[in-house]
């Protein structure tokens, strides 16, 4: 019987990201892909924390690198964990995010999967990552992903807060915009609502793209957790000019937060 197509997965077990913001190799070693693998289909990064600290959110990214094949730049967000108000409530974790990669590989190639906390936590969070591989070549164009820099939200409503400009040079079409807003010190009756704006002079049509952030409701007491509904993600189709593309991101909040949190955005391109 001829070999039939196979899609399998491997899980790189939970690895401490430490209490800082340095990049950590998940599993402590390189992942060797199966000999039958011909593509990386997708990844599912997961971040968690077993000893949460009051008024501390968890926000981390997953990074793919390899010396055997071209997979980078590829950096995406794991579903964040919102801060808690009060010491007798557990934080909320959203469903893990699944990101397409569509990267062709040769069986036996080596892949490095890193985790990096974007916010320093009192207790170290952990990250794991599921890597989905196929015995067939990708059924779509390879995807690359680039993220911006973590930026304070400020405490003012109805104002564009600029992030730090970031750039990419691989890909001619942006197919997804993503990002997250996480509170730090939270308060009752303190909600998050607003949008991200992505601007670039390298867009073929120079209209900025706006994406509504996943809203976060306020609470009615002094004991509650900030329920972040995963990563804000919006499929798009934005052609860009060849060469380096510079992205300027902004956050616009409709409601003024009681205390500043943080935000970060990213783009996925083909």
Using an 8 Å Cβ cutoff, are 35 and 109 in contact?
no
3-state class (DSSP) for residue 22: coil
Residue ranges covered by each domain of the chain: 7-269
Which token pair is 172?
């001619």
According to DSSP, residue 26 is labeled G
CB neighbour list of residue 233: distance below 8 Å, 6 or more residues apart: 97, 176, 177, 178
Using an 8 Å Cβ cutoff, are 267 and 237 in contact?
no
50, with CB counted inside 10 A (0-12, 13-18, 19+), is exposed
Spatial separation of the C-alpha atoms in residues 135 and 150, rounded to whole Å:
37
pLDDT at 197: 98
What is the reported pTM?
Answer: 0.93
Spatial separation of the C-alpha atoms in residues 66 and 78, rounded to whole Å:
20
- Closest among 25, 19, 261 to 151, alpha carbons compared: 261
Spatial separation of the C-alpha atoms in residues 226 and 258, rounded to whole Å:
13
pLDDT at 125: 95
**Which residue shows structure tokens 């402590």?**
28
According to DSSP, residue 28 is labeled G
Within a 10 A sphere around the Cβ of 243, how many other Cβ atoms? 9
Name residues of the chain where pLDDT drops below 50. Answer: none
According to DSSP, residue 97 is labeled P
Using an 8 Å Cβ cutoff, are 185 and 225 in contact?
no
CB neighbour list of residue 207: distance below 8 Å, 6 or more residues apart: none
Using an 8 Å Cβ cutoff, are 181 and 159 in contact?
no
pLDDT in tens, 2-40: 579 999 999 998 999 999 999 999 999 999 999 999 999
- Closest among 118, 112, 117, 38 to 71, alpha carbons compared: 112
How many residues are there in the chain? 270
């Amino acid at each position: 019987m001829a070999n039939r197509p196979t899609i399998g997965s491997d899980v790189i077990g939970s690895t401490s990201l430490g209490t800082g913001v340095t990049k950590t190799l998940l599993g402590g070693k390189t992942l060797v892909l199966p000999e039958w693998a011909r593509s990386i289909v997708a990844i599912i990064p997961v971040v968690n924390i077993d000893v949460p600290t009051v008024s501390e959110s968890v926000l981390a990214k997953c990074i793919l690198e390899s010396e055997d094949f071209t997979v980078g730049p590829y950096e995406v967000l794991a579903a964040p964990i919102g801060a808690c108000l009060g010491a007798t409530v557990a934080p909320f974790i959203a469903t893990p995010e699944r990101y397409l990669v569509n990267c062709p590989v040769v069986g036996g190639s080596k892949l490095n999967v890193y985790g990096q906390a974007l916010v320093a936590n009192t207790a170290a969070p952990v990250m794991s990552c599921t890597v989905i591989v196929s015995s067939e070549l990708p059924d779509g164009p390879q995807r690359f992903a680039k993220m911006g820099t973590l930026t304070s939200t400020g405490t003012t409503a109805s104002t564009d807060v600029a992030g730090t400009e970031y750039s990419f040079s691989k890909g001619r079409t942006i197919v997804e915009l993503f990002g997250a807003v996480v509170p730090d010190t939270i308060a009752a009756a303190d909600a998050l609502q607003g949008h991200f704006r992505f601007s670039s002079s390298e867009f073929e049509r120079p209209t900025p793209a706006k994406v509504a952030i996943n809203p976060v409701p306020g609470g009615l007491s002094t004991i509650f957790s900030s329920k972040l509904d995963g990563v804000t993600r919006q499929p798009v189709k934005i052609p860009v000019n060849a060469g380096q593309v510079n992205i300027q991101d902004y956050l616009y909040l409709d409601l003024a937060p009681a205390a500043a949190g943080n935000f970060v955005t990213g783009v996925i391109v083909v």
